[in-house]
Amino acid sequence: MTPARLFSARSRTMFEGMGHWASSTQAGLKPSQPPPRQVSPRLLSVSCADLVKHQELPGKKPLSEKKLKRCFVDCRRVLVCGGNGGAGASCFHSEPRKEFGGPDGGDGGNGGHVILRVDQRVKSLSSVLSRYQGFNGEDGGSKNCFGRSGAVLYIQVPVGTLVKEGNRVVADLAHLGDEYIAALGGAGGKGNRFFLANDNRAPVTCTPGQPGQQRVLHLELKTVAHAGMVGFPNAGKSSLLRALSNARPAVASYPFTTLKPHVGIIHYEGHQQIAVADIPGLIRGAHQNRGLGSAFLRHIERCCFLLFVVDLSLPEPWTQVDDLKYELEMYEEGLSERPHAIVANKIDLPEAQANLSQLRDHMGQEVIALSAVTGENLEQLLLHLKVLYDAYMEAKLGQGCKPLRW
């Protein structure tokens, strides 16, 4: 080690030399040239932390959890590859005073599977990557040592994920805890110990591991909720969901404010919870992929009952219900016949009072008139939701099926 006294003397000599060099440089300059800037000794002392910071390789920073939640993805193409199996070993037992030890090559380990698993904490397919490679198995070794099998790779997907291969549906992960083996791992190879026989006492044959299965899967998310709010743009669906639950979808005075489904939870007595989904606004011809199109019509398929949200401030509001039922029926037969309720929003506007009586005469059923902004008559909608939920639970239990619990 260099003594501190010698180090300080060397440092002082170095800076003095720099001062002489600066003075000699200034003496050799012309009067019209500006003098060079003095080099501060502080700039010469670079810490190790600065060096490490500058030596880091530039790369794309991973998205934070907050930014991932903003990016709602309901369709993803994934290439899944199972892990490759390990190769078998070809070797013979070696031991002093034992000339013919025989083969002792172990088998290779199996490759790991790639499994899709439903996780309730995941709400979108944004965290699913475009390619997954399973873990490979280890090769076999001497002394009859088998290789370790590859670990299972789990891909977390939200509830309601539909798995397709081509145009064929291969799995429907609609319940919590559902799993689907997306790609099988390859089998491990055999060592020469496996080929030992009476007619072949010294086999040298060993087999390599099998490659893992490769598949291209298409994942589609269909939002799972008890109630789905269906309506035209600017009907007040997002405002109604904000009034009923703690969900905070964007609200504005222009159409197509909601570009992704939002789910809000309504709490009742006895720890009962009803999930209400805000489906983006539909337009005429949505079943023909107009507007947001069928990309969001599929989210209505998983809803147990529907809420048709009507804008009372527009003339002839009953035509909105007829158009919505027509679009749902054209998209999937029987979808419009599910249990539903008609919610007439914006009752606080003056032109809505005259349209309310006309809407009730044309529909011939109960119409819940309310205002999502002022909170008027929200209790009637909450009570009606509880009635629809109890009827759904009773029907599912009577069929022997497991009802959806949020």
Which CATH number does the domain housing residue 137 bear?
2.70.210.12
Report the number of distinct structural domains present in the chain.
Answer: 2
Q: Is residue 218 part of a domain?
A: yes
Does this model's pTM top 0.85?
no
> Are 186 and 231 within one domain?
no
Query: Does 273 lie in the same domain as 134?
Result: no
Same-domain status, 206 and 253: no
Looking at the domain assignment, is residue 3 inside a domain? no
Query: 222, 237, 253 — which closes off a domain?
Result: 222
Whether residues 170 and 190 share a domain: the answer is yes
How much of the chain exceeds pLDDT 70, in percent?
A: 78
Average pLDDT over residues 376-393: 90
Q: How confident is the model at residue 198 (pLDDT cuts 50, 70, 90)?
A: confident
- Residue 291: the pLDDT is 58
Task: Give the structural domain span for 247.
Answer: 225-397
Which residue, of 222, 245, 264, is where some domain finishes? 222
Residues 196, 319: one domain? no
81 and 97 in a common domain: yes
Q: Taking 50 as the threshold, does the pLDDT of residue 43 lie above it?
A: no
Mean of per-residue pLDDT scores for the chain: 79
Same domain as 217, residue 312:
no
Q: 217 and 323 share a domain? A: no
pLDDT band at 285 (very low <50, low <70, confident <90, very high): low
pLDDT range class, residue 348, cuts 50, 70, 90: confident
CA distances from 173 to 119, 160, 253, 406 (A): 10, 6, 37, 15
pLDDT digits (tens, 9 = 90+) for 126-165: 889 999 999 999 999 888 899 999 999 999 998 889 999 9
- Which of 222, 237, 269 terminates a domain? The answer is 222
Question: Where on the phi/psi map is residue 54: left (φ > 0), alpha (ψ -120 to 50), or beta?
Answer: alpha
User: Does the residue 41 lie in any domain?
Assistant: no
Lookup: tokens for 402: 């497991």
In this structure, is residue 144 part of a structural domain?
Answer: yes
Q: In this structure, are 159 and 277 located in the same domain?
A: no
* Residue the block writes with tokens 């016949």: 337
Do 240 and 328 lie in a common domain? yes
Pair 263, 377 in one domain: yes
Q: In 28-72, which ranges are continuous DSSP H helix? A: 41-44, 48-55, 65-70
